[in-house]
Structure 1
Amino acid sequence: MGLNERQILILRYLLLKNEAVNYSELSMHCGCSSKTIQRDIKKIEETGKDLAFEIKRNGQGILLECNSEARNRLDELVFSTDSFRSNDSVEDRRNRIYLDLLLNSPNPTSIRSLSEKYFVGSSSIVNDLSAVEQRAQANGLTMKKTREGTYLQGNELLIRNEVAYLLNEIQVGVADVQTAQSRLNKETRMVLEGIYGSDSLASVEQCVSSIEESIDVILSDTYYVNIVTHILIAMERMKNKRFINESNVISEKDRNDVIFHKIKKCVTDFSNQTGIYFPENEVDYIYTHFMGCGVGELPSREVIAQTLQASNREVLSFCNELIQNMEKETSYSFANDSNLFYSLLLHVNSMITRIKYNVRIICLLKEKTIKEYPKMYATVKQVTLELKKKYFKEGFISDDEICYLCLYFQLALEDRKSPRKVLLICSTGVGTSHILKKRVQKVFPDLEITDVISLRQLEKKDLSDIDLIITTVNITKEIQCPSVLVSVLMDQRDIDEVKKAIVIEKKVREC
């Protein structure tokens, strides 16, 4: 039964102490919250059933109990081999080492400490550091090696961006429900709580919510994780007096004063609550990252109008040319789709801020987008990179950014696809057919009801252009399109079955 590095660290600490240890002590030793320690202890207890040891609790804390034979075996497993380790890949370990160095910068980290933390030999750590150095250099950071250990050196803004990007990247592919108290999924929340603590996370989430309410936007989940992570990093780095350099502050002419002062007030309230002072440079930093975040849904017309008014000609021209060039490449008409234009406008406004101030985002749907919409992705990438030469010569547009642009155009296509044609079949009663038709139109307004016929009429009916049949009577005739048997009044179970049939039909259509 595999344990992760932190759980092995807890077990090792309990073995070395050989006395009761409280959760706070373990929390400080492992650099995570007490709640995380409690969850880890439960996992360790499950492992103990197979290895003849127990976790006992008393007034002083928790104590590991086992006989001498079991202790010797446990010592050998924990201190000498990798038998306890979970199935983390080498790449996972290198990501975490990179994160360790970023969070600890500019303080050095020794090879020995990394070897003990990740339970691999020093030669493996040396190889890991070489791989990490290449990644750091590619992102503008330098790795320094001294007698005390290894550390990363570079622009503070770049370090913070790398931390945020890496934290998000570690959680790509996690599909979990959000908690009732948070917009973060459980895995993301556990990671951030483990590093920064539950209280800090809760206060940052409250700060972000107050900013959203103040400037009248709702961030999508990906951007929400991004901004929460950035503020947590800022808090932690400022505790060690790691402020943003003066040269990184956004110029006043590039600031939207109304939005800036609203964000500043929220940050000031947050500072008073946490006791952590945010200097002007840090407020600028939060503003820059918030303005680099896109909204999760189209905001009110008033906000869209403000965005149009605030957008410079370069942004408007870029969006218009992007739409025009996509029309030429795909032969689809996008020019009259106002939702597409406004979505692109809001996104490109934020994208330009990210490009200008080196704010990186990650698209959690990147791999799936490229796989499911290869033609659309390739076309958007080609068109976007051509426009980049004209509008953003010095900027870098990542594949993550291009994937978001691709999704806007794909969604526009999905929205304009011809509605599914549905045939309704009832018994001979005219009254019941009208009831069913009204019910279907109310619950599924996007479906096109082509006709309502009796079962007898079905024998001579051409079904070649029908996507779905909804019927109140059993069909004995063999038909090619899917059908759903429902009651005339269509209860919730009937509605759910129709929804399932629509999903299946959609998948068949896409194939």
Structure 2
Amino acid sequence: MSSKEEREQRLLLLLSKKQEYVTSGELAEELNISNKTVYRLIKGINDQSSDGILIASEKGRGYRLNYQKYMNRTHQQLSRESQVTPSERRKRVMEELLLSSPRATNVYQLYEKFFVGDSVISSDEQLISKELAQYNLSLERKNRTMAIIGEEANIRKAISDLIQLLNIIDIDELKHNETLNFNNYDVLFVLDQLRLIEKRLDIVIPHPYNVNIFSHLYILISRSRKVGTSLFTMTETVSQEEKQALAKEPILRQISKDIIYQTEQYLNESLPEVETYYLYQYLVSSRMQDSLEPLAIFSPEVSKVTQLYLDEMSRQLHLSMTNEPIFIDLANHIKPMLNRLEHNIHVKNSLLDQIKMVYEDIFKNVSKISSMISETYQLPEISADENGFITLYFARMIETNQLPIRTLIMCTTGIGTSELLKVKVAKKFPELEIVAVVSTRDAKQFLATYPDIELILTTIHLNHQVSIKTLLVSAMFTGDDQKMLQTKIEEIYDDRH
């Protein structure tokens, strides 16, 4: 993604979070860009929109995102079947070369469907080589052919990351999606194996863990078809250490063994014994929905890491997180995460950009704690994707444990219409704790007595400044008033974070 595309994406995410008018100055400040760049980005986004104006402007108020059009645009981008972008072209070429590795593939065969010249191919070669270097893989070009050389484990990891970059959300949609260049028969077989795993365990494997398991089995089948297991360079026997690991979860071990047997039957080819161990690792590295383990099941390391997250985030969020159900819920996420770190299994968080925007402070705190945990327990670096999942956990904790917003209703006399307003507000917004209804002349004295007030609803303009969030509403509490109040409540919750 280019820097311009990244700025456009951040701008759209910020506007989708606000869902109200935002001035160019506010956008420029939050995105750390100039006002001129804001205007240019908005013009570019609107010019590219095929569904009319995506970002509306209103003099004196700023810019506002048409959320319905934005969601339609996002959906169309994910499901488009139109022209392949340069980035997508390189991904498809890489996928073909990785699946065929170490066999060389003719350059003409790789690129004939993209209709590009030698200069583009040469540029792709440099960019692909740079991408492969992250996996300790190299791209070799000889006599108009290309081949990727490296260890089997690194090849599979690169393929897995490529598949996950497609942002697959709904696994079942794969059987109908013609844009992903997947073998439909292989897709159906792997989906059947996923359903079988869920049936045997009587659970649901949620996203993104189902994508990880799907990717692993699909890659295994694709590699076998392309090059045969005789060219696999992974160890073909199970080590004593791996056998001890398999013994820890006998049910998952048996399921892994059965799935690999089914795969052998499907391919009509024998697979190395170690494939059972690799699939087993993906299963124990997945969080199983509706499966909460008791406290006694967690290892000392899982318990210590979980408690450290809870202690540090409790301090940051000023929330008590001391009861056993909270601990067990987080530990059931931490346990497979630590296994993923140990075995270099990466999960793709397709919501990461939105999480970082909407829960910015929580994400930053989680990332700092994760770095501390990696250093303290000598663990591999905990990725931004993993931190995003942990952020969602604490965001859910906050949403379900929000303290009521202590609110003051104020009018000229403190009686009559303000009492009607109190009834309407209490009915529509139970998250507000209406502490009192007061007149404007009593406001200063009341605020001095109750300094923990977070919101003032007033039916008249205040002549003096107060440090508390204030909203001017009508005594009839119209629909517009309610929308403005909902926005104000969300601002208060964001400030608490």
* Superposed pair shares fold, TM > 0.5: yes
Question: How far off is 1:132 after superposition?
Answer: 1.0
Residue in 1 aligned with 2:321? 335
SS in 1 for 2:182: helix
> 5+ residue gaps in structure 2?
1-80, 409-423, 448-452, 462-469
Q: Cα–Cα, structure 1 residues 104 and 266, in superposed 2: closer, same or farther, change >3 Å?
A: closer
Question: Which range moved further: 97-106 or 254-263?
Answer: 254-263
Determine if the alignment matches structure 1 residue 246 to structure 2 residue 240: no
Computed over aligned residues only, the root mean square deviation of the Cα atoms, in angstroms, reads 4.6
- Do the aligned partners of 2:209 and 2:286 also contact (CA within 8 Å) in 1? yes
SS in 2 for 1:333: coil
Matches for 1:273-292 after TM superposition, within 5 Å: 275=268, 277-292=270-285
Write the distance in 1 (CA, Å) between the matches of 2:139 and 2:484.
Answer: 56
Q: TM (normalized to structure 2)?
A: 0.63
Write the distance in 1 (CA, Å) between the matches of 2:178 and 2:341.
Answer: 30
- Do the aligned partners of 1:211 and 1:262 also contact (CA within 8 Å) in 2? yes
Write the distance in 2 (CA, Å) between the matches of 1:246 and 1:499.
Answer: 65
Residue in 1 aligned with 2:254? 261
Write the distance in 2 (CA, Å) between the matches of 1:286 and 1:327.
Answer: 36
Q: Cα–Cα, structure 1 residues 206 and 448, in superposed 2: closer, same or farther, change >3 Å?
A: farther
Matches for 1:11-26 after TM superposition, within 5 Å: none
Write the distance in 2 (CA, Å) between the matches of 1:416 and 1:120.
Answer: 56
Q: TM (normalized to structure 1)?
A: 0.62
Measured against aligned partners, the alpha-carbon deviations of 1:229-265 in whole angstroms (never above 9, x if no partner) come to: 2211111222332354337877122232232123333
Write the distance in 1 (CA, Å) between the matches of 2:134 and 2:454.
Answer: 54
Write the distance in 1 (CA, Å) between the matches of 2:129 and 2:86.
Answer: 15
Residue in 2 aligned with 1:144? 140
Write the distance in 2 (CA, Å) between the matches of 1:353 and 1:286.
Answer: 13
Question: How far off is 1:502 after superposition?
Answer: 9.0
Determine if the alignment matches structure 1 residue 125 to structure 2 residue 121: yes
SS in 2 for 1:368: helix
Question: How far off is 1:136 after superposition?
Answer: 0.8
Q: Cα–Cα, structure 1 residues 450 and 162, in superposed 2: closer, same or farther, change >3 Å?
A: same
Q: Cα–Cα, structure 1 residues 165 and 483, in superposed 2: closer, same or farther, change >3 Å?
A: farther
SS in 2 for 1:170: coil
> How many pairs does the alignment contain?
386
2:313 to 322, 326, 337: 326
SS in 2 for 1:144: strand
1:407 to 364, 368, 392: 392
Matches for 1:127-276 after TM superposition, within 5 Å: 127-147=123-143, 149-171=145-167, 183-184=172-173, 189-192=177-180, 194-197=181-184, 199-239=185-225, 240-242=227-229, 243=232, 244-246=234-236, 251-255=242-246, 256-269=249-262, 271-272=264-265, 275=268
> 5+ residue gaps in structure 1?
1-84, 424-435, 470-475, 487-493
Q: Cα–Cα, structure 1 residues 150 and 340, in superposed 2: closer, same or farther, change >3 Å?
A: farther
Question: How far off is 1:312 after superposition?
Answer: 2.0
Residue in 1 aligned with 2:24? none
Question: How far off is 1:184 after superposition?
Answer: 3.9
Q: Cα–Cα, structure 1 residues 332 and 185, in superposed 2: closer, same or farther, change >3 Å?
A: farther
Residue in 1 aligned with 2:8? none
- Do the aligned partners of 1:315 and 1:348 also contact (CA within 8 Å) in 2? yes
SS in 2 for 1:304: coil
Q: Cα–Cα, structure 1 residues 482 and 92, in superposed 2: closer, same or farther, change >3 Å?
A: farther
Q: Cα–Cα, structure 1 residues 206 and 505, in superposed 2: closer, same or farther, change >3 Å?
A: farther
- Do the aligned partners of 1:205 and 1:228 also contact (CA within 8 Å) in 2? yes
- Do the aligned partners of 1:184 and 1:225 also contact (CA within 8 Å) in 2? no
Question: How far off is 1:342 after superposition?
Answer: 2.5
Percent same amino acid at aligned positions? 20
Amino acid at match of 2:388: C
Measured against aligned partners, the alpha-carbon deviations of 1:67-111 in whole angstroms (never above 9, x if no partner) come to: xxxxxxxxxxxxxxxxxx955443332222222211221221233
Write the distance in 2 (CA, Å) between the matches of 1:508 and 1:223.
Answer: 33
Residue in 2 aligned with 1:35? none
Write the distance in 2 (CA, Å) between the matches of 1:109 and 1:265.
Answer: 34
- Do the aligned partners of 1:420 and 1:448 also contact (CA within 8 Å) in 2? yes
2:359 to 360, 363, 373: 373
Question: How far off is 1:325 after superposition?
Answer: 2.8
Measured against aligned partners, the alpha-carbon deviations of 1:456-484 in whole angstroms (never above 9, x if no partner) come to: x99xxx9x979999xxxxxx999958899
Write the distance in 2 (CA, Å) between the matches of 1:388 and 1:341.
Answer: 20
Write the distance in 2 (CA, Å) between the matches of 1:247 and 1:141.
Answer: 24
Question: How far off is 1:422 after superposition?
Answer: 10
Write the distance in 2 (CA, Å) between the matches of 1:500 and 1:481.
Answer: 12
Q: Cα–Cα, structure 1 residues 119 and 503, in superposed 2: closer, same or farther, change >3 Å?
A: farther
Q: Cα–Cα, structure 1 residues 270 and 185, in superposed 2: closer, same or farther, change >3 Å?
A: closer
Residue in 1 aligned with 2:56? none
- Do the aligned partners of 1:421 and 1:447 also contact (CA within 8 Å) in 2? no
SS in 2 for 1:387: helix
Matches for 1:60-75 after TM superposition, within 5 Å: none
Write the distance in 2 (CA, Å) between the matches of 1:483 and 1:200.
Answer: 62
Matches for 1:452-471 after TM superposition, within 5 Å: none
Matches for 1:313-462 after TM superposition, within 5 Å: 313-328=300-315, 330=316, 332-393=318-379, 395-419=380-404
Q: Cα–Cα, structure 1 residues 335 and 409, in superposed 2: closer, same or farther, change >3 Å?
A: same
SS in 1 for 2:293: helix
Write the distance in 1 (CA, Å) between the matches of 2:389 and 2:238.
Answer: 27
Question: Which range moved further: 244-253 or 117-126?
Answer: 244-253
Write the distance in 2 (CA, Å) between the matches of 1:186 and 1:363.
Answer: 22
Residue in 1 aligned with 2:52? none
Write the distance in 1 (CA, Å) between the matches of 2:352 and 2:282.
Answer: 21
Q: Cα–Cα, structure 1 residues 191 and 339, in superposed 2: closer, same or farther, change >3 Å?
A: farther
- Do the aligned partners of 2:221 and 2:267 also contact (CA within 8 Å) in 1? no
- Do the aligned partners of 1:422 and 1:450 also contact (CA within 8 Å) in 2? yes
